[in-house]
Amino acid sequence: MFEKNKLTQLLGIKYPIIQGGMAGVSESILVSAVSNAGGLGVIGSGFFPPSWLEQEIRKTKELTAKPFGVNLFLQNPKIEDLIKIIIKNSVAVVFTGGGNPLPLFPFLQSAGIKVIPVVPYARLAKKMEDNKADAVVVEGLESGGHIGNTTTMTLVPQVKKILKEMPFIAAGGIYNGKTAMAAMLLGADGVQLGTRFLASKECQIHENYKQAIINATDEDIIVVARFTGHPVRVIKNELTEKILKLEEKNPFPEEIRAEKFAGSKVGAGNIEQAPLLCGLCAAGISEIKSCQEIIQEIVNEIKKHEQNGFLAL
């Protein structure tokens, strides 16, 4: 049913389902599981050094023969070295965030690597198409981690209206078959899921973090660090209470730096002192499942509605 889908054709994958590149979370085990299940797994490089990225690329290749990608956080000071490693290891696709990706296009695309920027506005999606990006992820404010200002439901049709040919991926608030279908009905060629894969069996975060996602209600998921210009969506805990109190004192942006949120490490299972990044959709997740089960449930839901004439892909 997805044979003519622009995204599956572009990336050589079975289903137009992308795993978001979450720094400190998206490593070889999770990435390979998503790719083996028919989606596209993505390594989240964050602020990690080049040696870590090369190791994870090699591990992923040992675990899957399917395509996978790397997400580059453009604020990493070692970005040039990361790009060299990506080219050296012939990674299929690069996703970018946290900066201007346009200068990277010639280097990556000349090496046969597809480039897919992540953007929060329709205007930027059009700019990426005009500059020959291979595709784009448009991310609504419902997402976890660093967020924009526009909802997925309003962003997706706006992007569909102004793009000519470039395929695009919807992200933010998508975690099951119905939310994936909604994004596609609005015009997206595929979907990106982050939070749903946090609560997967293959994800290597601490079980206490996974349980916090399962237990979260809509009121437990908040945004902090707005004053820095890089607001972050997280689950409420003792750490967020400290940050909110600091914000009341009108701090300098340097006092709450982006790297503090780049990778949700829960040492010894202490979920109170770590940034528990997650999207609003966590409130709808009630069970930890394998990546295969997550993707197959989405696909089955889409197939059911396609057969009933509600969706033509």
Residue 163 pLDDT: 98
Do 292 and 303 fall into the same domain?
yes
Do 177 and 227 fall into the same domain?
no
pLDDT per residue as tens digits for the range 27-48: 999 999 999 999 999 999 999 9
Do 99 and 182 fall into the same domain?
yes
Does residue 186 register a pLDDT over 90? yes
Do 236 and 111 fall into the same domain?
no
Helix then strand then coil, % of the chain, to nearest 5: 45, 15, 40
Residue 1 lies in a domain: no
Do 130 and 246 fall into the same domain?
no
Do 125 and 226 fall into the same domain?
no
Do 302 and 258 fall into the same domain?
no
Residue 173 lies in a domain: yes
> Max alpha carbon distance in the chain (Å)?
56
Residue 312 lies in a domain: no
Task: Pick the closest to residue 44 from 7, 82, 77, 13 (CA basis).
Answer: 82
Residue 313 lies in a domain: no
pLDDT per residue as tens digits for the range 233-261: 999 999 899 888 888 887 665 656 555 66
Residue 198 lies in a domain: yes
Residue 141 lies in a domain: yes
Rounded (10°) CA dihedral 271, 212, 259, 75: 160
Residue 217 lies in a domain: yes
309 — pLDDT class (breaks 50, 70, 90)? low
pLDDT per residue as tens digits for the range 47-64: 999 999 999 999 999 999
Do 83 and 199 fall into the same domain?
yes
CATH, residue 13: 3.20.20.70
Do 169 and 273 fall into the same domain?
no
73 — pLDDT class (breaks 50, 70, 90)? very high
Residue 226 lies in a domain: yes
Residue 1 pLDDT: 66
Do 62 and 75 fall into the same domain?
yes
Do 197 and 216 fall into the same domain?
no
As for how many domains the chain has, the answer is 2
Task: Print the domain residue range for 271.
Answer: 207-283
Selected residue with higher pLDDT from 263 and 209: 209
Burial of 128 by CB count in 10 Å (0-12 exposed, 13-18 middle, 19+ buried)?
Answer: buried
Residue 258 pLDDT: 52
pLDDT per residue as tens digits for the range 105-117: 999 999 999 999 9
Q: Residue type for 24, please?
A: G
Q: In the sheet that 145-146 helps form, which strands lie side by side, from edge to edge? A: 145-146, 232-235, 221-224
Do 296 and 176 fall into the same domain?
yes
Of all residues in the chain, what percent carry a pLDDT higher than 90? 77
* Average pLDDT over every residue of 84-91: 97
β-sheet bridge partners, residue 73: 97
